[in-house]
Structure 1
Amino acid sequence: MQCPRTNRCLHWSNVCDGVGDCKNAEDEDKNICGVTFCASGSFQCQSGSCIGKDRLCDHNADCFDGSDEMPAICRQKTGSKAVEWFTKSCALVPKQGMRVTDYFSQLSYKQDAQVPDQSIVEITCDDGYRLFGSNINSCDNGAWENNLISCVRYCEPSPYSRSIAYSTKCSDVGDCNEGSLMDTEMLVSCAPGYESDSADNLVGHHVCDENGEWTVVEANPICTPICGVKSPHHPGITPWTVSLFQRTLPGDVIYTFKCMGTILSPFIVITADACFSEAAEAYSPLFFKVVEGDHKIEFREDEDHGYTLHNLMEIHIVT
């Protein structure tokens, strides 16, 4: 079935199963789900399926949605005056973001359905939720094997965790790059090489809310790059200087000095175009190393050299 207002297509097992899969739950419309007819001597389940009347109110949920054991029906049918109607099945407790399907048929259960005894179910979570516990559960003798399964709201990694200008720290696991659970607090400060433009605003504060969004508690600092500053103890050293070294052959491990460069940003270095020869392989970043500072002594990559090395990702020749 194709949902009327979107291009989403549903398997027929997801139609009239008590769970609205289309945007406005058109797959559960009574005009669709009410056209199933059951033969004489049978009972029509709330989901539209049919079972024999001898299985109605037998204390075991035979309908996929458990509607054959609804207390109001069964007390009237049996004449029972019991306040509660005992059913040998497992009740699903409605939990936001959680979907439960039969492990073998992949049919979806209503959130408050009665799952027949000896059934095995599979649990999945909607987008924006994370599963805690096993994704498989079983109903055994009217009780769930595992009662500690849940879908917990979480926030996707914040863009600030991928920004070169910021450092982030999350209260749940520290690392903010893997997504965070609801109520996680994220602190945002300036990354090394950056500083806040205000001494009154050094750390931003965010909280992962119940909607899976990062709520701003305190605004982030405005972080600007720290330009190179000469140390009074080493006046001859310029911290924005780098040296470019090149190896001449693919299998060569000896790098020789080629030219000097200047750091423009954390990921950009500018140098003279004469640093690169016209040989095609010379334009490959794999043939170069960037060395921090002013150095000209050749080195072998497989031996201790004392240099701080960086790889090149791209080379752009600008004319």
Structure 2
Amino acid sequence: MKLKLYLSNLLYLWAVVTLRSRAINAQCSTSQFACENGGCISQFDVCNGVKNCPDGSDETPLTCISQRQHCLKPYFQCSYGACVIGTAGCNGVKDCADGSDETVLRCGNEDDLREFDRRSQGNCQDDEIKCPSGICLDKSRSLCDGKDDCGDGTGFDESVALCGHLECPGYSFKCGTGGCISGALSCNGQNDCFDGSDEAPLLCNTTKKVTSPTPVVIPLEQLGCSLPLEDERPILKDHYDRVLLPPITSGTVRFSCQPGYILEGLEISHCANRQWSSETVPKCVKYCDSKGEFDGYSTKAICTSAGQNVDCSQRYHPPGTEVKFVCATGFQTRRTTLPDMKCMKGGYWNRQRQRCDQECGQIATPTKSFSANGYTINNTVVPWHVGLYVWHTEKSYSFMCGGSLLTPDLVITAAHCVYDETVRRAYSYDTFRVIAAKFYRNYKNTTSDERWQDVRDIIIAPGYKGRTNNYLNDLALLVLVEPFEFSHVIRPICVHFSEFAEKETINNDVQGKFAGWSIEDKRELQFVPAVSKMNSVCLQNFPDIQSDKFCIFTQGKSLACRGDSGGGFTAVRQSYAFSRDTSRHFLYGIISNAPNADQCAHSLTILTNIQHFNKIITTAIENSINTRS
């Protein structure tokens, strides 16, 4: 009895399998849809948001993209072309097979969107997303354009999650996953959408490509000693320097790589019995080029490879190398930490280095003692003040003027300090040297804090003609060969350009100071307290004063002398552009009048108002930041 029941069940199962097999292999009727796996379903069950074919082939962009034009309101159109109930969008139920009716970017609240952005961004910048491979892509340039910009075959930047909610312009074509391409690219014979939906057979009235099984062919190179894949394969040469082609069956081989690739393994190996004499097969690996990648005065790089610290200054780095950045002294970032860089397989960095923002107008310690001509100080009180020296003889440099640091490689000073009155142009830039943290004026009288840089360019304010025009536009910028490294005694001054009244003149009674070197004893660094007077007040004492000037009043013996020319008048003001320590020192003007050697000006000193030179100063600062920070 049990045997009869067993045979009966077995016969039933055979019948079911046989009938299903015949149904699958049978040709579908005109009212049916042929699934990819050979099954048949009703035409009414195609592109309705539900996968009715076992393989889901009834709900793909290739099948449904052509039906978009027929899916009109009140129905809801899925990204890949299916037509579902009109209330599908954001109803909490995935009515579309691809979930495009319920994506976070379509339906999420502010918290959902914020969390989605955080996860998509990873350790990339705010305007980037992180691909599964680790590289960072610019959202504004690489998302939802039909191309696999991640380059890893995932199409992550073209996914429904990122693109399914988009509405493409009328002149464009919307890919099955949501990306937008030019309408002229659909049905042009090549896939411009990552998912190939722009070349769907039903859309373009073409037939599906049928692929035949590819016969197995053993590559010739497998008949000899093993070799790396094509992109890692070295150049093979014999001892006569002749290029060898696979298969390599015997003999000694020299390995080398194309430019930009590094050989990993021995340069010479012997092939015999399909085995190399070396333990590992030499291969060429594309390394990441660090030229210009880590450079910038606003950050410091720390490089590691396989968990070990490596020299960041080396030109090429193997895949897997990670680079961490910290802000250099005198710089800050609004982030908790700076994003890391990583060398990816294929020899490219997953992102660009992010700069830090420059701090300015800060001092580390207060004044020390009082001296005859002002306050003798240590270098931390005016860390932006520098000395300008000129190579006048064949023996040494001589002091010329003062100046102020605007960035690590940019100094502002007076034009008359670097201008040749006889030929009416700037002296040659290579005759000048700038010294920061200079406590003693004499070039040879040095301290351990001092740092110097040579000048590579001089920018004179337009319209400057020296004495001919009574020092109108007496302002110059010096671009340095190399940037200074900021420290507690070397830091920049802040600048701010007003839009209204102070654009033309500095107000009366701004309490500030300027720095210079004493004319007595060792000529030590000092600063002099001073009060500003607007241009109209200065006219009473200087009838021929130019419109771009203002003056400062100094009390007692604290007078401006020749050594102070080119130095800056600074004052403390509040600036909420900084997240901490909002009281900063700002530059107001550049000392312009230049008394004869070792003479001092009267109690009133004339300065050039930097507010008149917004464009030239801002352009130079931006150029420094954009090219060297």
Structure 2-normalised TM-score?
Answer: 0.32
Q: Is the 8 A contact 2:299 2:355 kept in 1?
A: no
- 1:138 matched to 2:270? The reply is yes
Partner of 2:363: 230
Unaligned runs of 5+ in 1: 1-64, 71-89
Offset, 1:177: 4.7
> Residues 42-191 of structure 1 correspond to what in structure 2 (within 5 A)?
91-95=225-229, 96-103=231-238, 104=240, 106-110=242-246, 113=247, 115-117=248-250, 119-126=251-258, 128-139=260-271, 143-148=275-280, 149-157=282-290, 159-172=292-305, 173-175=310-312, 177-191=314-328
Structure 2 CA distance for partners of 1:91 and 1:220, relative to 1, 3 Å: closer
The separation in 2 between residues aligned to 1:248 and 1:128, in whole angstroms, is: 47
Amino acid across the alignment from 1:107 = V
Please give the residue correspondences for 1:247-286 in structure 2 after superposition, counting only pairs within 5 Å.
247-249=391-393, 251-253=394-396, 255-278=397-420, 283-286=427-430
> Percent identity over the alignment?
23
Match of 1:298 in 2: 442
The change in CA–CA distance for 1:204 and 1:159 in structure 2 (over 3 A counts) is farther
User: Alignment partner of 1:164: what SS?
Assistant: coil
Tell me the distance in 2 between the aligned counterparts of 1:189 and 1:66: 48
1:69-128 alpha-carbon deviations (Å, 9 max, x no partner): x6xxxxxxxxxxxxxxxxxxx513334422232333633423xx2x243x3323223455
Structure showing greater radius of gyration is 2
User: Matched residues in 2 for 1:171 and 1:66: separation?
Assistant: 37
Q: Distance in 2 between matches of 1:147 and 1:126?
A: 23
Matching of residues 33-44 of structure 1 within 5 Å: none
* Corresponding residue number in structure 1 for 2:76: none
- Measured after TM superposition, the shift of residue 224 of structure 1 is 0.7
- What does 1:198-237 correspond to in 2, within 5 Å? 198=335, 201-215=336-350, 223-234=356-367, 237=381
Please state which structure has a larger fraction of its residues in helix. Answer: 2
CA gap 1:182/1:175 in 2 versus in 1, 3 angstroms: same
Q: TM-score, normalised by structure 1?
A: 0.59
**1:139 touches 1:145 (CA, 8 Å); kept in 2?**
yes
Equivalent residue of 1:312, what SS? strand
Residue of structure 1 equivalent to 2:177: none
C-alpha spacing 1:222/1:244, structure 2 compared with 1 (3 Å): closer
Q: 2: distance between equivalents of 1:176 and 1:92?
A: 35
Residue deviations 1:133-158 (CA, integer Å, cap 9, x gap): 34333336765343443323421217
* 1:289 is aligned to 2:433: yes
Residue 314 of structure 1 aligns to a residue in which SS?
strand
Structure-1 separation of matches of 2:342 and 2:389: 46
> What amino acid sits opposite 1:196 in the alignment?
T
- Residue in structure 2 matched with residue 78 of structure 1 by the alignment: none
1:175 positional shift: 1.0
Per-residue CA deviation, residues 244-292 of structure 1 (Å, 9 max, x unaligned), is 011212x222x22110111111111111111124278982333222111
Task: List per-residue Cα deviations over 1:292-316 (Å, max 9, x = no partner).
Answer: 146563234xxx6224322222223
**Retained in 1: the 8 A contact 2:287–2:316?**
yes
Unaligned residue ranges in structure 2 (runs of 5+): 1-219, 369-376, 463-629
* CA RMSD, Structure 1 to Structure 2 (Å): 3.2
Which protein has the bigger strand share?
Answer: 1
Match of 2:68 in 1: none
- CA 1:273–1:295 in 2, change beyond 3 Å: closer, same or farther? farther
